[in-house]
Amino acid sequence: MSAHLRGDAGDARAPVDRQALLLAAYESLMHASRRILLSAEAGDWEALIEQEADYLVRVERIKRMDAQQPLDDGAASRKAALLEQILEQDLEIRRRLVERREELGRLIGSSRRQQALSRAYGPLQGGMPIDAAHRFGPPEP
């Protein structure tokens, strides 16, 4: 059996291959984060929710890989750059989610006010205001 298949410490290719796989996983996570951000920018909240589930699976997979694979300086530097991009995108995603939450809060508040008015005053007849000018007398000159 070759040293590569046995995973002998003398085989320099095995650690590099695992590093490359780990970095590829981080690249993939960064692209997944970008897709989530694009969905948030487009207001496509259903797609964002679906993508978020996939993203979390990727994060868990990377956690396991990362715990098992030390990185050389070059790979560690690339990982840091990818993490920085991921965190920047995550910050923007969160900002947009907060905006959406506030928008939904305003809509809910408006709906509650309309319901309260409807309960207090009842539905308007035909959706038109009632002419009550005759109750207040003639207009003053």
DSSP per-residue codes, 101-131: HHHHHHHHHHHHHHHHHHHHH-PPGGGS---
Instruction: Tell me how far apart the alpha carbons of residues 133 and 122 are, in angstroms, rounded to a whole number.
Output: 21
Write down the domain spans for the chain: 3-119
Q: Which CATH superfamily is domain 3-119 in?
A: Flagellar protein flit. (1.20.58.380)
% of the chain at pLDDT higher than 90: 56
Rounded to two decimals, what is the model's pTM? 0.67
| Phi and psi based region of residue 138 (left: phi greater than 0; alpha: psi -120 to 50; beta: remaining) | beta
Phi and psi at 77, nearest 5°, equal -65, -45
Identify the sign of the CA torsion 46, 51, 57, 60.
Answer: negative
Condensed to tens digits (0 to 9), the pLDDT of residues 17-67 reads 889 999 999 999 999 999 999 999 999 999 999 999 999 999 999 999 999
